[in-house]
Amino acid sequence: MLTLTRSVGETIRIGDDIEVHVVEVRGGTVRLGFKAPREVTIHREEVYRQIAEANALAAQVTADSLGALAAFAPVSAEPEADQVQDAQA
């Protein structure tokens, strides 16, 4: 891990596109400002962990969820007429 010392008003650059500004230091708290492209996500660690946990839960597939999804699938063994024409073309 790289450790840097900065004072209020100073900046750290990450690559060409990201700036981290030290906005305020008060007691044991540091206030930071970030300038980054919109596609770069910036989260506090505790928020990032909650997002990762929610994504992991959402990605889990259960037998119940597959059964519910199967209820929406067509059961026809015969291809529809437009699919047969597309295959012959």
Residue 26, in any domain of the structure = yes
Please provide the average confidence, as pLDDT, over all residues in the chain: 87
State CA 19 to chain mean position distance. Answer: 21
Range of the domain at 36: 11-67
Residue 46 located in a structural domain: yes
Is 39 inside a domain boundary? Answer: yes
If one counts every other C-beta atom within 10 angstroms of the C-beta of residue 12, the result is 13
| 75 lies in some domain | no
Exposure string over 46-80, b if 16+ CB within 10 A, otherwise e? eeeeeeeeeeeeeeeeeeeeeeeeeeeeeeeeeee
Tell whether 86 is covered by a domain: no
Which amino acid belongs to residue 50?
Q
How many structural domains are present in the chain?
A: 1
Residue 72 lies in a domain: no
| Domain annotation covers residue 56 | yes
- This prediction's pTM: 0.62
CB atoms within 10 A of CB 28: 5
Give a yes or no: residue 4 inside a domain. no
For residue 63, pLDDT beyond 70: yes
pLDDT-based confidence at residue 3 (cuts at 50, 70, 90) = very high
